[in-house]
């Protein structure tokens, strides 16, 4: 049923972002105890950034993220077009473009541009969860409800426990099954997650809040010009990276670095951190992989 597919696309935004990232993914604020920034100021700062350097692919991606979060889906789509033109081999950029195209469309629940973008994302990274989700939505819209459910179940099987989209994905499968009289209960019960490595202490570091500076440091940062604020944030992340070079066995630190890089839109640096973390900690490679999947690190 097409209406179900249209309703279900609302979970797509969670496919690549943890809750904190969804609040302000393009801004430094997630690194500062979730302190909210002025969304328009964030957008203006990013507009200035890409205006000064039109070839800044990550700047365009961050701008698209900021537009999307503020409901400016057509603007997000235009920003992601720039990002994909500059870095056509990035699956995350393409699936982000596809999602923005879906949300920017007033009439077509799966515009051709969106479908093509999801196809490109999957060709680059067959595990891209957002592209996989929306390609199943495309099947649902085409009345291939069984095919959509089968693909969503496969995605659920590859979903680490506790991922931001897990509950919504289950709910979508249940709703589509109920409306189309397909019994999904035993199939849902049979899904065995491929991420059997629980994080230390029973809590996902990837989904936890990122510790930030003290309130005094935050107050001081608020008085800085935008460029200096960005420099402060980059300094914090670079400081964490330096500590990990000295102590590469700190797995939690690597996960925090991956999350920080993803929050800043620096997907290539997040992927590099993932590779370094695995190489330094082969005994915990499974856990590192699971946390990287929660964060949406490309290529994992």
Residue 145: which of 180, 188, 196 has the closest Cα?
A: 180
Strands (E), the chain: none
pTM of the model: 0.60
Q: Give the C-alpha separation, 271 to 292, whole Å.
A: 9
Contacts of 147 (CB under 8 A, 6+ apart): 136, 139
**pLDDT tens readout for residues 166-181:** 888 888 999 999 999 9
Q: Is 11 within 8 Å of 21 (Cβ atoms)? A: no
Q: Give the C-alpha separation, 269 to 190, whole Å.
A: 36
Q: Is 197 within 8 Å of 287 (Cβ atoms)? A: yes
Please give the pLDDT value at position 106.
86
- What is the third-level CATH fold of 2-199? 1.25.40
Q: Give the C-alpha separation, 246 to 93, whole Å.
A: 32
Please give the pLDDT value at position 220.
53
| pLDDT of residue 226 exceeding 90 | no
> Quick one: average pLDDT of 256-273?
85
Q: Where are the domains of the chain?
A: 2-199, 215-295
The rounded mean pLDDT for the chain is 77
Please give the pLDDT value at position 113.
97
| pLDDT of residue 95 exceeding 70 | yes
| pLDDT of residue 11 exceeding 50 | no
Domains 2-199 and 215-295 share a fold: yes
Please give the pLDDT value at position 232.
62
Is 3.40.50 the CATH number for 215-295?
no
The CA-based angle 81-86-87, given to 5 degrees, is 100
Phi, then psi, of 126 in degrees rounded to 5: -60, -15
Q: Give the C-alpha separation, 34 to 86, whole Å.
A: 30
**pLDDT tens readout for residues 96-141:** 999 999 999 988 999 999 999 999 999 999 988 889 999 999 999 9
**pLDDT tens readout for residues 178-211:** 999 999 999 999 987 654 434 333 444 444 443 4
Q: Is 117 within 8 Å of 95 (Cβ atoms)? A: yes
Distances in whole angstroms, Cα of residue 26 to Cα of each of 29, 36, 39, 54, 265 = 9, 12, 9, 17, 7
Transcribe 119-157 into DSSP letters. Answer: HHHHHH-TT-HHHHHHHHHHHHHTT-HHHHHHHHHHHHH
pLDDT band at 88, cuts 50/70/90? very high
Query: Which tokens belong to 126?
Result: 């067959």
Contacts of 88 (CB under 8 A, 6+ apart): 120
In the block, residue with structure tokens 């999307």: 68
How many residues are there in the chain?
A: 300
């Amino acid at each position: 049923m097409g209406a179900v597919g249209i309703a279900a696309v609302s979970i797509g935004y969670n496919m690549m972002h943890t809750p904190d990232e969804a609040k302000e993914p393009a801004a430094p604020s997630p690194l500062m105890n979730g302190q909210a920034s002025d969304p328009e100021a964030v957008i203006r700062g990013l507009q200035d950034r890409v205006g000064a350097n039109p070839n800044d692919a990550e700047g365009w991606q961050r701008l698209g993220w900021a537009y999307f979060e503020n409901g400016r889906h057509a603007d997000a789509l235009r920003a992601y077009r720039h990002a994909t033109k500059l870095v056509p081999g990035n699956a995350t950029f393409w699936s982000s473009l596809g999602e923005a195209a879906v949300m920017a469309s007033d009439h077509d629940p799966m515009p051709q541009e969106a479908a093509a973008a999801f196809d490109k994302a999957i060709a680059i990274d067959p595990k891209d969860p957002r592209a996989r989700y929306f390609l199943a939505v495309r099947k649902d819209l085409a009345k291939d409800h069984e095919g959509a459910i089968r693909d969503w179940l496969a995605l659920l099987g590859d979903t680490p426990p506790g991922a931001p989209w897990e509950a919504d994905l289950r709910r979508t499968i249940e709703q589509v099954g109920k409306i189309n009289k397909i019994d999904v209960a035993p199939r849902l019960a049979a899904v065995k997650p491929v991420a059997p490595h629980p994080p230390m202490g029973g809590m996902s570091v990837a989904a936890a809040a990122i510790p930030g500076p003290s309130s005094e440091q935050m107050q001081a940062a608020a008085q800085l010009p935008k460029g200096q604020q960005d420099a402060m944030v980059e300094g914090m992340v670079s400081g964490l990276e330096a500590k990990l070079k000295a102590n590469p066995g700190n797995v939690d630190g690597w996960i925090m670095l991956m999350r920080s890089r993803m929050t800043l839109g620096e997907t290539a640096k997040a992927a590099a951190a993932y590779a370094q973390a695995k190489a330094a900690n082969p005994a915990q490679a499974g856990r590192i992989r699971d946390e990287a999947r929660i964060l949406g690190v490309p290529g994992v």
